[in-house]
Structure 1
Amino acid sequence: MEWLYDSWSGEEPEFNQHSNTKGALEVLDWAYRTYKEDIVYACSFGVEGVVLIDLISQVNETAEIVFLDTGLHFEETYELIEKIKAKYPKLQIKMKQPEESVQEQALSKGEALWERDPGQCCNLRKIVPLHEELDGVSAWISGLRREQSPLRQKTNFLNRDQKFKSIKVCPLIHWTWKEIWRYVYEKDLPYNPLHDRGYPSIGCAVCTESVLNGSDSRAGRWANQEKTECGLHLDSASSR
């Protein structure tokens, strides 16, 4: 039976977190059987995203994947997306763009909004477009891992997402950084070369810096600012 946001009790099926994929394949299989065409994967095409795409392709080779194309991403990110399209030709990868181009935003909001008000910039170029994509969709998939940051340590496989009024499915919550990379190397998956240059987390080029070894995996996002999240994953209640 389909679990809708308003009627979901918060109880989730039992998923085996000790399986070869730490429950990820089991969660994805359940999600696509439950929601069928009523689920979207919002992918940033970081290394976790590459792993999730490969896992999703094993469950649903025609799955819908949305990339929030802010117009400000690294060229390496766009090149990776083309490699993924070639490797998984049946996947439906959509490049979702904001209402305003970067140039139009500069005219209406002023130059370099990401420097003056990064929260507003993320809202206009990421959160609003994702709202448009998830409007009327029962569930969406995210690559969040508990290890990534203190804010993400309580993430569950299934989460009631108050911001987008949907169920957020997070198959990789128990994976470590080393396990992500082991999977990539064993499967010989393409990935963003910026990861090899000190970028553990990759977002827009104007807001992402390389980090020192041993730093928090998201230390390079909005460096020297209080902001640590774009806002997509805030205000989500856990499943318990």
Structure 2
Amino acid sequence: MDRHKLNYLNKAIEEMPTDDAISFVLDAIKGKKVFSTSFGIEDQLLTHYIASHDDVTTFTLDTGRQFNETYKVFQDTLDKYPSLLIDTYSPDENDIKNYVKNCGINGFYDSIEKRKECCRIRKVKPLKRALTGAKLWITGLRAEQSMNRETMQFLEWDETNQLIKFNPLLHYTLKQVEHEVGVFNIPVNPLYYKGYLSIGCAPCTRALLKGEDFRAGRWWWENGKKECGLHIHSDNNH
């Protein structure tokens, strides 16, 4: 991985409009490029920018425990962007059977270890399959979403997955995301307007209470930093 090239790209796109920055990076980086969407509001905005780029493979992880509203916005997105293909990656059936046998259908409530194992088999393992062979992974991460994301850059080397991670919306505020989604008339998960700012699996997500942190609605029964393992900040540029 050429850190000088990453530094160059980060500086080059610093002041670019989002669509120009995405085009610039896609031209600069060769090989397989993928975009992961969970149909949250940030990913919906990125889908709008990426739908016209046929050199990017869009995918989603269907954990089998999603909200019905998430499937609805999935279909609404395909209806709005008819040329867009979204690959779906699901957990291994045997992994699910073993988990239910050993932990119970809702075992993730019992301990952090059991919850992380559920995330591993439903999300992390399918993600590994989705990223196979990829050189660039585009995500909807924003710096203000959580403290451990504040030190990120637009482009970083992801040591865990051995690829470059690209975060085009890194410095967007939530208000900016909401504004552009409205301007482009982009489908939004109806749960978002009911206080679900970070939407994951149905059993593990609740609406935020007034004044709560962005991630407080995820795994609300746990304390401390809460991540599922999809976005581990493993860059060594700092």
Q: TM-score, normalised by structure 2?
A: 0.89
Change (3 A) 1:196 1:102: farther
| Aligned position for 2:155 | 158
1:120 CA drift (Å): 0.8
| Deviation at residue 95 of structure 1 after TM alignment | 1.1
For residue 157 of structure 1, report the CA deviation from its aligned partner: 0.6
CA distance in 2, matches of 1:130, 1:209: 24
What letter matches 2:80 in structure 1? K
* Aligned residue number for residue 234 of structure 1: 232
> Shift of residue 137 of structure 1?
1.1
Does the 8 A contact of 1:12 with 1:158 survive in 2?
Answer: no
User: Aligned residue for 2:43?
Assistant: 49
Q: For the residues of structure 1 that align with 2:95 and 2:68, how far apart are their CA atoms?
A: 15
CA contact (8 A) 1:27 1:157 kept: no
Matched, 1:39 2:37: no
Contact 1:146 1:173 in 2 (8 A): yes
- Deviations for 1:104-142, whole angstroms, at most 9, x for unmatched residues? 241354321322311111111111111111122111011
Let me know the Cα RMSD of the aligned residues: 2.0
Would you say 1:25 and 2:19 are equivalent positions?
A: yes
Deviation at 1:92, TM superposition (A): 1.9
Q: CA deviation at 1:11?
A: 2.0
Quote the residue 2:127 is aligned against: 130
Q: For residue 12 of structure 1, give the secondary structure of its aligned residue in structure 2.
A: helix
Q: Tell me the equivalent position of 1:3.
A: none
**Equivalence for 1:190:** 187
1:80/1:190 contact within 8 Å kept: yes
Report if the CA contact (8 A) 1:114-1:206 is conserved: no
Residues 61 and 90 in structure 1, CA contact (< 8 A), matched pair in contact too: no
CA 1:62 to 1:223, structure 2 compared with 1: closer, same or farther past 3 Å? same
Q: How many residues align?
A: 231
Instruction: Say whether the 8 Å CA contact 2:32–2:56 is kept in structure 1.
Output: no
Give, in angstroms, the shift of residue 61 of structure 1. Answer: 4.7
Q: Is the 8 A contact 2:77 2:187 kept in 1?
A: yes
- TM-score normalized by structure 1? 0.88
The residue aligned with 2:107 is 113
